[in-house]
Amino acid sequence: MLFDEYKYFSFKFPEPQYLGAKYTHLSWINKFIPQNIKTALDAFGGSQSVSFLFKQLGLRTITNDFLNFNYQIGKALIENKSEKINTEDVNILFQESSQKSDFTLMESIFTNVFFERNESFFIDNFRANIPLLSNPYKQALAFAVMNRSLTRKITMGHFGHTQALVYASDPKRIKRNRSLVRPIKDLFLELLSKYNDAVFDNKQDSESFNEDIIHLLPKLQNIDLVYFDPPYCNSHADYQGFYHLLETYTEYWGDKKFINAIKRYEPQRYSGFDKKSEVVSSFKKLFELSDKIPLWLISYNNRSYPDILTFEKMISKYRDVTIEHKTYQNGRGGKGSVAGSKEVLFVCRPKKNYFVPKNYKKKLEHEKL
């Protein structure tokens, strides 16, 4: 490669189908990532596309998400250095499971809601076989690829509606999207090579966590940069509502209630960032716990709560802030990404009276030049 910092960019992140994913903003976000940092934290990993960018940049990458299905992507593509799913593994995943009688959750809950019975049977059987794979990284890859296959199968790529089977019988929609009628097995096999090809070793010991970020931050040390992409309160979709099936499939709960027409699990996981009554206090905790992390990048939206000016004042108590923004030309799901709304990035640097290690002082002085 011409520039050493881009030597890992031959590895491509498998394109997600995830509301709010920053996949299309990566080159823009990359402009604000300083050189010469060593460790980056992606606090709300989601689709893991920003974590993958950090890994491509050669950084030790720590990624976290409180939803297990997102954590599995981080385990598979960020923490994992070399393990891939081979033909023998595929045969294990597709074989008839001796434990199938204990794995009927998809068939009993989601048949005729999102899938025909034969497809529900197949993904239950697949789920029963995942623990048979030889290590946690192969297992995480199996989860990541299957969960992506399930979103490919459903119109709009999420599970917040009840029209999946209606749309899958509509010739006009099928013509636009053949995945609606393709077997999930075929979708898995097609996507598998893309995920296998995304596994690489950047010579760093990266980690993936599945925790509430408020609980995780006190356990972490020596973080140079943190990227926050919290739920955009009041402007983006309810991720637990839209992707409930993926979390149910990954956790394979036996102690949840499944409510309403989409069979969402109840109770939901506690977030702290998705309700107006809680989000301000949650951000204050987040910023206080991040005090020893020199550099913050915070993704936001101009339609979110609290509003941009209020949010800037909150951050300004802790950091000097520069606000960058991009305007959406096309809608990407949720009123926060409709055409005309703005994706906002708060670039937060240490205040002048904030202690900065010598290596950061030299780097910041170099950037000014």
pLDDT digits (tens, 9 = 90+) for 21-49: 899 999 999 999 999 999 999 999 999 99
How many angstroms separate the CA atoms of 247 and 240, rounded?
8
CATH number of 1-81+204-238+274-369: 3.40.50.150
pLDDT digits (tens, 9 = 90+) for 59-83: 999 999 999 999 999 999 999 999 9
Q: Which residues pair with 208 in a beta bridge?
A: 63
Q: What is the mean pLDDT of the chain?
A: 92
Please give the pLDDT value at position 334.
45
- pLDDT at residue 248 greater than cutoff 80: yes
Please give the pLDDT value at position 369.
45
pLDDT digits (tens, 9 = 90+) for 319-361: 999 999 998 665 444 444 455 678 999 999 999 765 555 565 5
Please give the pLDDT value at position 358.
57
Evaluate whether 188 touches 146 at the Cβ level (below 8 Å): yes
Coil, helix or strand for 114? Answer: coil
Please give the pLDDT value at position 327.
84
Evaluate whether 207 touches 42 at the Cβ level (below 8 Å): no
Q: Provide mean pLDDT across the span 182-208.
A: 98
Q: ∠ CA 166-170-172 to the nearest 5 degrees?
A: 145
How many angstroms separate the CA atoms of 128 and 97, rounded?
6
| H helices present in 244-369, as ranges | 244-251, 276-289, 308-316, 358-368
pLDDT digits (tens, 9 = 90+) for 4-20: 667 899 999 999 988 88
- pLDDT at residue 367 greater than cutoff 60: no
Q: What's the distance, Cα to Cα, between the start and end of the chain in Å?
A: 26
Please give the pLDDT value at position 360.
56
Q: Residues near 192 by Cβ (< 8 Å), separated by ≥ 6?
A: 85, 90, 145
What residue spans in the chain does CATH classification 3.40.50.150 cover? 1-81+204-238+274-369
- pLDDT at residue 307 greater than cutoff 80: yes
- pLDDT at residue 181 greater than cutoff 60: yes
Evaluate whether 315 touches 321 at the Cβ level (below 8 Å): yes
Q: Provide mean pLDDT across the span 160-189.
A: 96
pLDDT digits (tens, 9 = 90+) for 85-122: 999 999 999 999 999 899 999 999 999 999 999 999 99
